[in-house]
Chains A and B, each alone.
Chain A
Amino acid sequence: MALAALPFLLSLFQVVQLTVFMIFCLLALSLDLIWGFGGILSFGQAAFFGVGGYAYGVIGINSGRTALAVVAAVVAAALLAALLGYFTFYGRVGAMYFAVITLTVTLILHQVMGSTADPRYAVGAARLGGYNGMTNIPSLALELPGRPSIVLEPVPLFYAVGATLLLIVALCRALVRSSFGRVLRAIREDERRTELLGYDIRWRKLLTFVISGGIAGLAGGLFAGWGNFVNPQVFSLSQSALVVIWVMVGGRGTLYGAVAGTLVVQFLTNYLGAASVTYTTVLLGVALVLIVLLFPRGLVPSLGLAARRLALGLAQAPPAEDSGPA
């Protein structure tokens, strides 16, 4: 894959940056799974990301074992998703309220974690640190039994995160192509209909949400290990909205779209940030509005369709494969 050659072509800074973009891709994937395939808009992916980050920090600082910390990140986020999902899906909360509830939970976490500046708010050696955040979080390390652990340098970390992303994409693909995934799409299209066919939609939605939360938590854990730092900003309104924007730009329900959308938006943000300091947000906003207007279904589905039409038009060739930039 071209991905493997990238670290040789890019500067160290770019490699580090691309690593965090791939972590964000995981976060976008988690939303695409629940929103793009389950039809359930969750503003809470930032919450799971943040909880994953803090869980990684707490376990990482206290145990020094980062592999365990990553597992803790996934489990903590999945547990929160299970708790939230159980009450909302089994309580038959409507889609709109679900979006609001998940956003509210995220913002509550923002407040709560922000008010932990006092040193007594600590889990073992890990101080939560209020709005300053949790610092001194250990970097991701390779831990083999009986040997000293090796901290992953930027390039190995790039490969580790890249491999994780590919693995999660592959797992998500398998999931959405399974019979579970087909029923999930039916729930997206018409929940009531699916129920009347005899499917219990509640546990299916719950399971999808838990998997989605777990992936977001994984992203959060990797993020904390990448930057050695996590603060309540991960629970902010802008972060919550950003996840939705990534998926919207890339196109939901394709998995590749989530990845592509994240990369496009993040590179655009960086490029505009470098080009002009004052108007970054305005220009970014304009760019996003243009993308949504020109490609209402998102970049990947629209370009896929265009490519297929082009292939059909040029020669009476069979439809082109859907090629996603991943």
Chain B
Amino acid sequence: MSDIVLETRGLVKEFGGLRAVDGVDFVLRRGELRCLIGPNGAGKSTFFHLLAGTLRPTAGGIRFKDLDLTRLEPHEIARAGMGIKFQVPRVYDQLPVAENLWLSAHVRHGRAAAGTVADRVLDEIRFLQHRNTPVGHLSHGDRQWVEIGMVLAAEPELILLDEPTAGMTHAEARRTADLVREINRRATVIVVEHDMDFVRHLAAGVTVLHRGAILAQGSMDEIRDNPVVRDIYLGKRRRARG
């Protein structure tokens, strides 16, 4: 059982009367790559924020390795080895690309090694020519890459990627899928994604959230053949907001 990296038990988050996350039991094993899908308002973002510690659960528990995340501050969770990439790229627009990477590498590797790690990641995401460019001057897709680079530089054990391909072209999305698989060799990964093509390309396990709860889990093919999922999400365009 020690290969379980992340586990939530009866996780609940209420906003006023609304239950955005409603009793989620979620288990993730070391080295897994899992896609989290679901219609808008299914509770994916809230779930992410609960994992990151930026929201506190109303009830239930979260274990990351042997830590009780509900007791930790966001920075402590990050230090414990969780890396997050947000839906909208959250990068330091005024600072150069290299500085963004340095800031991320510095937490994990300390002052001495941070520069080397930042340089290596710069090369890995093929941004050497943009080293001194302020991130704000880059295109949306490129800023996504910088943020992915920041996640890489911190070398986390568990990576949360919230819609990594948002705003990317089809080719860029394919490249991202390859990179996510590459990252997955080193870390456990959860990806929230709307782009079904991308999810299929990843060939990962899928968890479907609906109205704050897990509706179905399995491979992409199993999910696609699940009539309930088809009904609310994949095929028909019914109102599916929770």
Q: Which residues of A contact B (CB under 8 A)?
A: 179, 182-183, 185-186, 189-190, 192-201
Q: How far is the CA of A189 from the CA of B76 in the complex (A)?
A: 20
Given contacts A190-B92, A198-B78, contact A179 B108 (CB under 8 A): no
B154 touches A198 (CB 8 A): yes
Contact A197/B78 with A183-B103, A186-B92 known, Cβ cut-off 8 Å:
yes
| Cross-chain contact A190 with B103 (CB below 8 angstroms) | no
Question: Judging by beta carbons under 8 Å apart, are B99 and A182 in contact?
Answer: yes
Chain B residues, Cβ within 8 Å of A199: 75, 107
- A179-B111, A182-B102 known; A195+B92 contact, CB < 8 A: no
Residue numbers in B under 8 Å from A200 (CB-CB): 73, 75-76
Complex CA–CA separation, A199 to B150 (angstroms): 14
- 5 tightest CB-CB pairs across the interface, nearest first? A198-B78, A198-B107, A198-B79, A189-B92, A200-B75
Q: Mark B51-88, 1 if CB is under 8 A from A, else 0.
A: 01010000000000000000001111011000010000
CB-nearest residue of chain A to B104: A197
A183-B106, A196-B54 given; 6 more Cβ-contact pairs under 8 Å:
A186-B92, A190-B92, A193-B90, A193-B92, A195-B73, A198-B75
Assess the A201–B75 pair: CB atoms within 8 A: yes
Please name all residues of chain A whose beta carbon is closer than 8 Å to the beta carbon of B94 when the two chains form the complex: 189
- Tell me if B90 and A195 are in contact (CB < 8 A): no
Q: Is the CB of B93 within 8 A of A189?
A: yes
B228 within 8 A of A: no
The DSSP consensus for interface residues of chain B is helix
Taking CB atoms, residues of chain A closer than 8 Å to B107 are 197-199
List 24 A-B residue pairs with CB atoms under 8 Å apart, sorted by A's residue number.
A179-B106, A179-B111, A182-B103, A186-B92, A186-B95, A186-B103, A189-B93, A190-B90, A190-B92, A193-B91, A194-B103, A195-B73, A195-B78, A196-B74, A196-B78, A196-B84, A197-B75, A197-B78, A197-B104, A197-B150, A198-B75, A198-B76, A198-B108, A200-B75
Identify B75's interface contact among A179, A186, A189, A196, CB under 8 A. Answer: A196
Nearest-CB residue, chain B, relative to A193: B90
- Which of chain B's residues have a CB closer than 8 A to the CB of A195? 73-75, 78
Closest B residue to A179 by CB, please name it. B111
- Closest A residue to B156 by beta carbon equals A198
For B76, list chain A residues within 8 Å (CB): 198, 200
B186 to chain A, nearest CB (A): 18
Minimum Cβ distance to chain A for residue B9 (Å): 24
A234 to B73, CA, bound (A): 39
Q: Mark B97-115, 1 if CB is under 8 A from A, else 0.
A: 0010011101110010010
**Residues of chain A lying within 8 A (CB to CB) of residue B79:** 198
A200 nearest in chain B by CB position: B75
Chain A residue with Cβ nearest B151: A197
> Given the complex, which residues of A lie within 8 Å of B102, measured CB to CB?
182
**B52 with A197: CB separation less than 8 A:** no
Taking the nearest CB of chain B, how far is it from the CB of A188, in angstroms?
9
A150 to B150, CA, bound (A): 58
Q: Which residues from chain A contact B154 at a C-beta distance below 8 Å?
A: 197-198
Interface centre among B76, B102, B103, B108 (most CB of A within 10 A): B103
In the bound complex, residues from chain A placing their C-beta under 8 Å from that of B74 are 192, 195-196
Q: Which residues of B contact A201 (CB under 8 A)?
A: 75
A197 to B53, CA, bound (A): 12
Contacts of A197 in B (CB 8 A): 75, 78, 103-104, 107, 150, 154
